[in-house]
Amino acid sequence: MTDMTSIPPVVTIDGPSGSGKGTIAKLLADKLGYALLDSGALYRLTALAALNADVALDGDNLDEARVAAIAGNLDIRFAIAGGEVSAVLEGKDVSRDIRMERVSMAASKVAAIPAVREALLQRQRDFRALPGLVADGRDMGTTVFPDAPVKVFLTASAEERARRRFDQLQGRGVSVSLRDLLEDIRARDDRDMNRAASPLAPAEDAVVLDSTDIDIDGVLHKVLDLVQQRIG
Ligand code: DC
């Protein structure tokens, strides 16, 4: 059991794009009354700030030092209204902008820079507060909160993740090809898992859950059981 009076417990939810970890993390934080860290949003905000500042992000021109300086000096906050979290960069609500495709691409480039990861490390740890934190990302259980009492690695087959994204986009009236989505997902998996700095991987003490054939409620129940066993 974690001593709730001193160190706030952390539940880490790591996994690849489209595994449902964002949805699970949000539901779990609501249910437990814990704070929520969407660490991907920090990489997206860094990417947007770099794009806004016209910093080169391509190949040989990638200006790592400047992106790291931007990450270290980000003027951001997360505002909560009506149960929704919005991301605010330099006073402007950029929640939609950070989900745009060009920002997703840029985020995966800036996330591979070790100095950027280092610059964002303490900022992520600062989210830890009583009564507890749910942290979602790629390296929450391995690097950012290695002492978390509950670590989940949520995965699903690439085909299932592409199909979920396809349904989501179709529901919004966006027409896309399932094959393109599958290719995108495989490319992002490859980048996230094979980078040198803090690659996507389950922590040794993580519980791996495959959500290919389980719905959101089923996954949520399993994670709540783990929280009950390990945090109480
Ligand atoms: O989870 P997301 O799609 O919002 O993440 C955006 C990018 O940031 C994605 O390329 C993976 C990267 N990321 C990371 O490297 N480490 C994290 N803890 C969270 C996200």
Q: What is the CATH number of the domain that holds 29?
A: 3.40.50.300
- Ligand 1 contacts CB of residue 139 (under 6 A): yes
Asked if residue 1 is part of any domain, the answer here is no
Q: Which domain holds residue 108?
A: 10-230
Work out the pLDDT band at 101, boundaries 50, 70, 90: confident
pLDDT of residue 152: 98
Q: In what order do the strands lie in the sheet with 133-137?
A: 35-38, 133-137, 10-14, 150-155, 207-210
- Ligand 1 contacts CB of residue 40 (under 6 A): yes
Residue nearest ligand 1's atom 16 by CA: 138
> What DSSP string runs through 124-169?
HHTT--TT-EEEEESSIIIII-TT-SEEEEEE--HHHHHHHHHHHH
The residue to mutate among 102, 103, 108, having the most atoms of ligand 1 within 8 angstroms of its beta carbon, is 108
Asked if residue 181 is part of any domain, the answer here is yes
Encoded tokens for 1: 């059991």
- One-letter amino acid at 202 equals P
User: How close is the Cα of 188 to the center of ligand 1, in Å?
Assistant: 10
pLDDT of residue 2: 47
Asked if residue 155 is part of any domain, the answer here is yes
pLDDT of residue 56: 86
Q: Is the pLDDT of residue 6 over 90?
A: no
Q: Is the pLDDT of residue 91 over 70?
A: yes
Checking DSSP bridges between strand 207-210 and strand 150-155, what pairing results, if any?
Answer: parallel
User: Which of 80, 106, 103, 79 lies closest to 92 in space, CA to CA?
Assistant: 79
pLDDT of residue 5: 60
**pLDDT > 70 in the chain, percent:** 98
Encoded tokens for 68: 């790291």
User: How close is the Cα of 111 to the center of ligand 1, in Å?
Assistant: 7
pLDDT in tens, 173-225: 988 899 999 998 898 888 888 888 888 889 999 999 999 999 999 999 999 99
- Ligand 1 contacts CB of residue 46 (under 6 A): no
Q: Residue length, the chain?
A: 232
User: How close is the Cα of 40 to the center of ligand 1, in Å?
Assistant: 4
Asked if residue 175 is part of any domain, the answer here is yes
- One-letter amino acid at 63 equals D
User: Which of 222, 126, 212 lies closest to 164 in space, CA to CA?
Assistant: 212
pLDDT in tens, 112-157: 999 999 999 999 999 999 999 999 999 999 999 999 999 999 999 9
Asked if residue 5 is part of any domain, the answer here is no
Encoded tokens for 65: 């030092």
- Cα–Cα distance, 220 to 28 (Å, whole number): 7
Residue nearest ligand 1's atom 1 by CA: 40
User: How close is the Cα of 5 to the center of ligand 1, in Å?
Assistant: 31
Q: Is the pLDDT of residue 109 over 50?
A: yes
Number of domains in the chain: 1
φ, ψ (nearest 5 deg) of residue 57: -120, 5
- Ligand 1 contacts CB of residue 142 (under 6 A): no
- One-letter amino acid at 169 equals L
Asked if residue 2 is part of any domain, the answer here is no
Q: Which residues contact residue 208 at a Cβ distance below 8 angstroms, ignoring those fewer than 6 apart?
A: 152, 153, 155, 202
In the DSSP assignment, the letter for residue 36 is: E
Encoded tokens for 150: 């509950």
Q: Which ranges constitute the DSSP H helices of the chain? A: 21-32, 39-52, 64-72, 101-110, 114-125, 158-171, 178-194, 216-230
User: How close is the Cα of 81 to the center of ligand 1, in Å?
Assistant: 24
The pTM for the full model equals 0.91
Asked if residue 211 is part of any domain, the answer here is yes
Asked if residue 133 is part of any domain, the answer here is yes
pLDDT in tens, 40-71: 999 999 999 999 999 988 877 789 999 999 99
